[in-house]
Chain A
């Protein structure tokens, strides 16, 4: 079946550091890929997405590129802020499958001053 694997957390960075959170997927076919963010006590918010190979999703300084050859969708940000502290989830879906999302286990990011 389909699955998503993320690097384990927590990831602790100093403010203005470079962020990478690794995500790889296993799927039959070519899914759409997503990064969601969950702030403490809140639901999930879509951060960015990519629907086909080599697409780059970007939002709020975060970006991720859909790499078909390595089945990866790593999340990056050049300079993190304390306000970026949250749990980040990588996910995939297939339009034909009702768009149900398959999530990774999440990576907690802590940014310190």
Chain B
């Protein structure tokens, strides 16, 4: 059984640019949640996708957007990058919205 995978592992972008992060959910999981973990902080919930629809959103601006595909993989897009967007972005998949969340290794984004 393949676990949750994320790509890329590391990414460096310039302020104002746009970035797309990718997540492949664990086999059979139809729900994907995204979290932002700033250095030295706990992860903060960005949003969740269930069967290709957004199912809840945290306190993040609209320039954070997402997609979920028919195979339940997901993308996180961030437009107009700001220095404070530098963080570890974690994806977690679960079986339905009530299931235990399994986390991927994360994508480390650095904005300069």
Question: A interface vs B, CB < 8 Å?
Answer: 4, 36, 41-46, 49, 89, 91, 95, 97-106
B103 touching A100, Cβ below 8 Å? no
The reply to whether B45 and A102 contact each other, CB–CB distance below 8 Å, is yes
Interface of chain B residues 35 through 80 with chain A (CB within 8 A):
35, 40-45, 48, 50, 55-56, 58
| Chain B residues bordering chain A, tally (CB within 8 A) | 28
* B contact residues vs A (CB 8 Å cutoff): 4, 31, 33, 35, 40-45, 48, 50, 55-56, 58, 90, 92, 94, 97-106
Q: Which of B94, B97, B103 contacts A45 (CB 8 A)?
A: B103
Interface pair A100/B90, CB less than 8 Å apart: no
Decide: B100 and A44 in contact? CB cutoff 8 A: no
- B106 contacts A98, C-beta separation under 8 Å: no
